[in-house]
Structure 1
Amino acid sequence: MLVKFCGATTESEVAAVATAGADLVGLWYAVPGGPAELAAGRAVQLCAAARETGRAEPVLVTFSHDTEDLLAVVEAGRVPWVQLHGFQAPSVVRRLRRDGPPGLRIVKVLHVDAAGRCLEGALAGAYEKAGADCVLYDAVGADGRIGSTARSLDPAAVTALAGRTGLPFLLAGGLHAQNRAAFEAVVAHPRFLGIDVDSAARGPGGLLDARAASAVAHAWRAGTAAAPGTAA
């Protein structure tokens, strides 16, 4: 199971989630108004910090449709993962696959509303054909907001949606150390790849925190809930 913690803005946060067992750390780039938004140069610096941990690989998380700009940051930061979190067209995936470095892994987020409807459902197959390596199911907020909504998806809706492509998938949306059991059917799916967590990995000051992140990672990997506020 891959564990990704998203929205690092400092070297200390990158180090904290690596210590907590993260495989991936999300760095926000071209996410207008996002609380963890990074300038290109800062994203490149934190990519280097992630590599220095020897554990957590950086993921460039973006709403951008500008493939030329994204490829420039990928090259400068030696970025191994790009997560397309907006409503990018399949052509963006195709261009990144064609012109990106060998081995670049492309994640396309598919947004799911409260009724279990995937907003990009009609394009799921096109993303796969364009070269996406995996998809990530994330919840749309009640106000239509996407990203870091802290709203959980219906596990049955996730497994149903997963059957519409042949791609591995990650799960996001309100995941924490106490709700692992609710997603047993999702975790058991043969193409389940891992989880993406933001809010539940943050400490009292709002930054990504080793203790909080460790509790999430342990609970999901071990299949047991950790008590609130405890470390793995």
Structure 2
Amino acid sequence: MASKGEFKRRFPKINNCCICLKLKTGVFIFTGIILLIIVINVLSNLNFIFSNNDSVLSSSSIFNTTTKIINELGTVYQYSYYIYILVNAILIVSLVLLIIGILKAKLIFLSQFKIVFLLYIIFYLIYNIFSIISMNNNAEEIVNILVKDKSFNDLIINNNIDEEDFKSSMLSSIKNSFTFEIFYSIIICALYAYYYVATCSLAEDIEESVYEEIDTRNLENN
């Protein structure tokens, strides 16, 4: 078993999380929030995939339209969707292990977080860059898919809306949404990065205390 003399910090020591919270309390709160958001996200995505035609969701216009967009844009989009769910499922397991690691001082559970969450941040960046670029490149195709959808088509006909004006308006809205997505992704990545550093700092605090206990026991035994 390693001793404290072999322990080296790789992350800065942080006493408080978000200024007002103790580090451990803050990490627990933010871990819980992230877990809740990701669990809801995964469940909703699984519901999206496995809903049958009789369900309320699958019979809704939103469900059908979203399905059409994903299916018509090609296999790459479909697989990226499944990969997104898989990665988030792995993150859920990692965060649960992190909580156990903090409560039980299980170093291996703390160590896995350092790797998994770092990879998740990288994945999140790449996935969002891919999504924004690819959706931007396919914006016109998305608009054409929407126009063909019955609900949008009925809207155009019933309100005597010029189809080209509608397409132009939709295209402008989609383009504007990309700007929001970029800023949103930057903010989320910054929060993830801060959470990662703070959590790793707490993990190293626990690791350091474990090694101190080992050294103390060794001295007592000698």
Q: Where on the TM-score scale, by shorter chain, does this alignment land: which range?
A: under 0.3
TM-score computed with the length of structure 2 as normaliser: 0.27
TM-score computed with the length of structure 1 as normaliser: 0.27
Larger Rg: 2
Higher strand share: 1
Higher RCO (CA < 8 A, seq sep 6+): 2
Higher helix share: 2
